[in-house]
């Protein structure tokens, strides 16, 4: 957790392996915002308990609580953090570069992650067969990664859209981590993404946000 604090302490409802929570943890760390970590065990179904549904009727993590403000959905939470805590900006000034950041974030958050989230994989496991879960997730991730390689090739520098860390990196890092660790994606086909994955692992704000470094991690 980052050490510098701005304003009242925030609370993040998170699950260690949730890539959507992982995005928000990176954003909080990049902004140097302290937060209280409240684990929600997705494997035990805690996201469907009535007290959690009061916070997020969709029944998913992350949820951010900032005093009287309760927000769910990682994109909305990160944009809120950006507006409320504008230091260490997560978006570039250049409008084209901003659009590329939104586009990359959106490919991850709309086109990849929702199609391999826990409830969908459980449904596929039940209705189609347990052996179909992994190939399905891999095909979705590969399709998205192909598009991202194409998108980033004209923009990438040290990071996704140049030499500064921005929104695209915040969304890419958790998806890349999940692809490597959980979905056994071979990254030879995706040289830009493979390089970014290595680079992200060198940044303290990203390291601290890793699933294995969370208080609820199961090793």
Ligand X SMILES: N[C@@H](CCC(=O)N[C@@H](CS)C(=O)NCC(=O)O)C(=O)O
Contact positions vs ligand X (CB under 6 A): 18-20, 42, 47, 60-62, 73-75, 109, 117-119
| 43: Cβ contacts below 8 Å, ≥ 6 apart | none
**Cα-to-chain-centroid distance, residue 138:** 17
Please give the C-alpha separations between residue 64 and each of 6, 23, 84, in angstroms, as whole numbers.
15, 12, 13
- CB nearer to ligand X: pick between 91 and 192: 91
- CB nearer to ligand X: pick between 108 and 192: 108
- CB nearer to ligand X: pick between 24 and 192: 24
Beta-bridge partners for 35: 10
Our separate counts of H helices and E strands in the chain read 9, 4
Q: How far is the CB of 73 from ligand X (least distance, A)?
A: 4
Beta-bridge partners for 64: 12, 71
Quote the CA–CA distance of 163 and 99 in Å, as a whole number.
17
Q: How far is the CB of 206 from ligand X (least distance, A)?
A: 17
Q: How far is the CB of 188 from ligand X (least distance, A)?
A: 26
Q: How far is the CB of 112 from ligand X (least distance, A)?
A: 11
- CB nearer to ligand X: pick between 47 and 156: 47
CA dihedral 70, 116, 195, 85 (to 10 degrees): -10
């Amino acid at each position: 957790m980052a050490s510098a604090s701005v304003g009242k302490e925030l609370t993040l409802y998170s699950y260690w392996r949730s890539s959507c929570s992982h995005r928000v943890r990176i954003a909080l760390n990049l902004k140097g915002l302290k937060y209280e970590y409240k684990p929600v065990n997705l494997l035990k179904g805690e996201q469907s308990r009535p007290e959690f549904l009061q916070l997020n009727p969709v029944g998913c993590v992350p949820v951010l609580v900032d005093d009287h403000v309760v927000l769910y959905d990682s994109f909305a939470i990160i944009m809120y953090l950006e507006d409320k805590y504008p230091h260490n900006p997560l978006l570039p000034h250049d409008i084209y570069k901003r659009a590329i950041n939104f586009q990359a974030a959106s490919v991850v958050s709309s086109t990849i992650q929702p199609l391999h989230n826990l409830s969908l994989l459980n449904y596929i496991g039940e209705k189609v067969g347990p052996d179909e879960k992994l190939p399905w997730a891999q095909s979705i991730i590969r399709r998205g990664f192909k598009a991202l390689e194409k998108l980033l090739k004209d923009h990438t520098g040290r990071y996704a859209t140049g030499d500064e860390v921005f929104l695209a990196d915040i969304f890419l890092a958790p998806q890349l981590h999940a692809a490597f660790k959980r979905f056994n994606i071979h990254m030879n086909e995706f040289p830009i993404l493979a390089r970014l994955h290595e680079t992200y692992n060198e940044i303290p704000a990203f390291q601290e946000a890793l699933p294995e470094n969370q208080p609820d991690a199961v090793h």
